Amino acid sequence: MTTMGNGDLRALQGAMAGAVLEPGNAGFDEARSLWNGEFDFRPAVIARCESRDDVVAAVKFGRASGLETTIRGGGHSLSGASACDGGLMINLSRMNSVAVDPQRRRAVARGGATWGEVDAATQAHGLAVTGGIISHTGVGGLTLGGGMGWLVNRHGLSIDNLESAEVVLADGRTVRASADEHPDLFWALRGGGGNFGVVTSFEYRLHPVGPEVHFGLFFWEIERGVEALSACRRLIPALPADSGALIAGALTGEAEPFPVEHRGRTGHALLVAGFGSAEQHAAAIAPFREACPPLFEVVTPIPYTALQHLLDDTSPWGIHDYDKSLAVADLTDDVIGVLTERATAKASPMSFMPIFPLQGAFAAVGDDDTAFSLRRTPQYLVDVVALSPDPAVCATDRTWARSIWDTLRPLADNPGGYINFFSEQDDDRVRAGFGPKKYDRLVQVKVTYDPGNLFHHNANIKPG
């Protein structure tokens, strides 16, 4: 059937411990809300799951009803894929517990947890795993796409630390995917997105981190962009494994850690996190200061949990967002020229260009070991982000982001980019992102586990 009646909803509610919500019910608007204010979808029904059994019931209902089915974990999908009009939303937000085994250095996060919740639980034991750089991002979407953050140089992507996953498949079966169980599915889950089932829990390997780490911010005037980014190109590859870095191009500082006298100023910044001693961090950042003296710098110890919250205000809930990303092998003069020439053309002070250096442990993993869309060689992921509370201003900067991306594309190592940064999920870009060999392998896994393409609100791998 393609419609649902009251009897169908009563049957779903009878099979679930969690609530089944329709428009007008208390809690419906909260449950359907998404981080990206560009989207305001109204599902026909929301299954607010409390357990794996609830997810099984909801998946079976989605199949039987013929309703478009979406999965909402943290609700952070850039493309709004967590919801749709008139469909079924399987909402995992109540399934947000995190269990830590400090002796084994393992954490099991349920599918609705956020990285802030993971960090709080693991840091109670001085442990961590690579997560996002915005604490209210959900673990599910970020991990399934790859998962990069401050620890990527030291410990690789989130998927490089994934031990196993519990998955509810399209036919309602629950399986454990790991290196030893359903290894084809385990390979696909590590970078292939939400194409293959609903992951109800993730088991991560943990590493000693914190509780105090070291932070450094260097800020250069917009006019010195070429000099600053050229210094970053020379020096970032020499950063020790105990460091993580992020370049923030066209950044307008509006709050801490920006000094009051420089707030509202736009320029280029380098953020460096150090996970060793204060002396090691000082030695790591000194060459940047010497090669290109910044307008100002902020160097301070900081709790790891505070580092993970540091950029939250750059992406508040309800902000209008649009991203375009691609990978470049190096910050060549041509790439730097594009980034610096276009830096001042943005309309919103919140829009900027985060550039993620990917090296160290990231590049120690084989290209074919996971389904991750980028090559495992040292590189830079360039993301151009239009951000504004005003949809009209975001639309203006969407044009800015597309223009920069179009100009950079001939210089890119992977024009398909990183699937977690897809605001538009067209088939050609998904194929380009994975490349033909990896895409074909993903198709075979899709045929095995979701031949009817029930899970297609994502960077979709089409079966067959």
Domain that holds residue 57: 6-91
Give the span between the Cα atoms of 78 and 39, in whole angstroms: 9
Q: Per the domain annotation, does 454 fall within a domain?
A: no
Residues 276 and 387 grouped into a single domain: yes
In whole angstroms, how far apart are CA 434 and each of 164, 241, 406, 429, 443? 22, 27, 19, 9, 11
For the cut 50, the answer to whether the pLDDT of residue 2 exceeds it is: no
Q: Per the domain annotation, does 304 fall within a domain?
A: yes
**pLDDT of 165-208, one tens digit each?**
999 999 999 999 999 999 999 999 999 999 999 999 999 999 99
- CATH number of the CATH domain containing 109: 3.30.465.10
Supply the pLDDT for residue 413.
78
Taking residue 137's Cβ as centre, other Cβ atoms within 10 Å add up to: 24
For the cut 70, the answer to whether the pLDDT of residue 6 exceeds it is: no
Q: Per the domain annotation, does 195 fall within a domain?
A: yes
Question: Are 202 and 162 contacting, i.e. CB atoms less than 8 angstroms apart?
Answer: yes
- CATH number of the CATH domain containing 292: 3.40.462.20
Residues 187 and 277 grouped into a single domain: no
Residues 25 and 56 grouped into a single domain: yes
Count of domains observed in the chain: 3
Residues 276 and 360 grouped into a single domain: yes
User: Which residue, of 208, 224, 258, is where some domain finishes?
Assistant: 208
Question: Are 267 and 222 contacting, i.e. CB atoms less than 8 angstroms apart?
Answer: yes
Q: Per the domain annotation, does 455 fall within a domain?
A: no
Residues 333 and 199 grouped into a single domain: no
- Over range 272-284, report the average pLDDT: 96
Supply the pLDDT for residue 24.
94
Q: Per the domain annotation, does 395 fall within a domain?
A: yes
Supply the pLDDT for residue 341.
96
Supply the pLDDT for residue 258.
86
Q: Per the domain annotation, does 157 fall within a domain?
A: yes
Residues 147 and 262 grouped into a single domain: no
Residues 293 and 315 grouped into a single domain: yes
Supply the pLDDT for residue 380.
96
- Over range 289-307, report the average pLDDT: 96
Supply the pLDDT for residue 3.
55
**pLDDT of 410-457, one tens digit each?**
999 766 678 898 888 778 888 888 989 999 999 999 999 999 999 999
User: Which residue, of 56, 71, 91, is where some domain finishes?
Assistant: 91
Residues 193 and 72 grouped into a single domain: no
Q: What percent of the chain has pLDDT over 70?
A: 98
User: Which residue, of 208, 230, 259, is where some domain finishes?
Assistant: 208
- Over range 348-368, report the average pLDDT: 96
Supply the pLDDT for residue 429.
83
Give the span between the Cα atoms of 393 and 167, in whole angstroms: 40
pLDDT band at 379 (very low <50, low <70, confident <90, very high): very high
Residues 20 and 162 grouped into a single domain: no
Q: Strands, DSSP E only, in 332-462?
A: 353-358, 379-388
Residues 66 and 102 grouped into a single domain: no
Supply the pLDDT for residue 417.
77
In whole angstroms, how far apart are CA 403 and each of 187, 222, 310, 384, 385? 35, 19, 29, 10, 12
Residues 173 and 315 grouped into a single domain: no
Higher-confidence position of 425 and 293: 293
For the cut 60, the answer to whether the pLDDT of residue 1 exceeds it is: no
Give the span between the Cα atoms of 101 and 129, in whole angstroms: 13
**pLDDT of 392-415, one tens digit each?**
999 999 999 999 999 999 999 766
Residues 271 and 248 grouped into a single domain: yes
Question: Are 295 and 267 contacting, i.e. CB atoms less than 8 angstroms apart?
Answer: yes
- Over range 90-118, report the average pLDDT: 98
Cα distance from N-terminal residue to C-terminal residue, the chain: 24
Q: Per the domain annotation, does 292 fall within a domain?
A: yes
Instruction: Enumerate residues 6+ apart whose C-beta is below 8 A from 378.
Output: 237, 329, 357, 358, 359, 362, 363
Grouping H, G, I as helix, E, B as strand and the rest as coil, residue 107 is strand
